[in-house]
Amino acid sequence: MIGISYLQISLYLGALLMCIGVTLVITRRNLIMMLIGIELMLNASNLNLIAFGKKFGQTESHLFVLFILLVAAAEISIALALLIQFYKHFQSSHLEN
Amino acid sequence: MNLVDMVDIIFIAFVCLTAFAAFAIVLANQILQAAYWLLCTLLGIAGIFLFLGADFIAIAQVIAYVGGVLVLLLFGIMFVGADTATKRKTGRFSGLALASGLLLFLIWLVRLIPLCESEFYINTTLYDIGYQLLTNFLVPFEIAGILLLVALVSAVFISAKK
């Protein structure tokens, strides 16, 4: 036994992923990179939900994660439709130009 | 080296894959590279879900994220053009400062949680998820279906508009 705690390592990894997502959303001005950052943040929240669900021995958190997955899929489809319209209008995917 | 050591080592390998790929997303020069590193991140997270006893969620992660969201992202990248560099000079330090401050705060929060020992067991959650989905979570389940339908129709409507 190395003696590691799956819960703590998962929570640290979730914190790291959340910060990387925030960094991407703040520092990049490209729409697709911002979407990738949002996906990373959603994954960090999923990881935290699953980790705490294991700690307390519940499976309700799995259902919440399932709904988050579903909302993420809906969100990315709408965002890409908006991206296509944005690109048709401005011929670019950067927010500044 | 017994089996438990091997399981722990595989878990650490998944964690390292996820963290490395997430850093590589930030450091990537092109959007396409970032999308492929996002693929590695999502697969690593799916592996970690397995170790946390969420087998169904791991499979759903692979199907929905890697098979759906990432393919849509790649379609968007191909549509817009993969040549665009993503670096931006101004405002980077404020973003990094904010993110590292957030990271320190979150690490402080995590350290407040009492440590519990690691244990690895395979106990399928499939029956429980199916039962909950059709009893306690029936209304959110139906609303989620309606949400997906509306999102699909509106995505087609928005992208087909002149």
Token pair 């969620």 in the structure block, residue: B57
- Measured distance CA(A44)–CA(A36) in Å, rounded: 12
How many angstroms away from the CA of A60 is the closest CA of chain B? 8
How many angstroms away from the CA of B26 is the closest CA of chain A? 7
Question: Does residue B134 sit in the same domain as residue B85?
Answer: no
Question: Does residue B80 sit in the same domain as residue B132?
Answer: no
Question: Does residue B39 sit in the same domain as residue B97?
Answer: yes
Q: Indicate which of B27, B42, B106 best probes the interface with A, i.e. most A CBs within 10 Å of its own CB.
A: B106
Are B31 and B86 in contact, with CB atoms under 8 Å apart?
yes
Which chain B residues are closer than 8 Å to A16 by Cβ? 19, 22, 103
Complex prediction ipTM: 0.89
- CATH for A6-90? 1.10.287.3510
- Measured distance CA(B76)–CA(B78) in Å, rounded: 5
Separation of first and last alpha carbons in chain B: 64
Question: Does residue B53 sit in the same domain as residue B69?
Answer: yes
Question: Does residue B36 sit in the same domain as residue B112?
Answer: yes
- pLDDT of the residue at A92: 75
As a whole number of Å, the CA-based R_g of chain A is 17
Question: Does residue B31 sit in the same domain as residue B48?
Answer: yes
How many domains in chain B?
Answer: 2
- Measured distance CA(B153)–CA(A41) in Å, rounded: 26
User: Residue B70: which domain range?
Assistant: 3-119
Question: Does residue B31 sit in the same domain as residue B68?
Answer: yes
Q: Per residue in B79-103, pLDDT tens?
A: 877 666 555 555 677 878 888 888 8
Are B43 and B62 in contact, with CB atoms under 8 Å apart?
yes
Instruction: With CB atoms and an 8 Å threshold, state whether B98 touches A22.
Output: yes
Question: Does residue B103 sit in the same domain as residue B151?
Answer: no
The overall pTM is greater than 0.90: no
Q: Output the furthest CA–CA distance in chain A (Å, rounded).
A: 59
Question: Does residue B136 sit in the same domain as residue B79?
Answer: no
Q: Indicate which of B1, B40, B118, B149 best probes the interface with A, i.e. most A CBs within 10 Å of its own CB.
A: B118
How many angstroms away from the CA of A48 is the closest CA of chain B? 10
Neighbouring residues of A9: CB distance < 8 A, sequence distance ≥ 6:
B11, B12, B15
The SS3 of residue B112 is coil
Question: Does residue B104 sit in the same domain as residue B155?
Answer: no
Neighbouring residues of A84: CB distance < 8 A, sequence distance ≥ 6:
B76, B79, B158, B159
Closest CA to A35 of A69, A78, A88, A65: A78
Query: Is A68 in CB contact (< 8 Å) with chain B?
Result: no
- Measured distance CA(B123)–CA(B120) in Å, rounded: 10
Q: What is the CATH number of the domain that holds B29?
A: 1.20.120.1200
- pLDDT of the residue at A18: 93
- Listed as ranges, residues in chain B with pLDDT below 50 are none
Q: Per residue in A17-32, pLDDT tens?
A: 999 999 888 888 888 8
Question: Does residue B113 sit in the same domain as residue B77?
Answer: yes
The ranges assigned to domains in chain A are 6-90
Question: Does residue B17 sit in the same domain as residue B86?
Answer: yes
- Listed as ranges, residues in chain A with pLDDT below 50 are 1
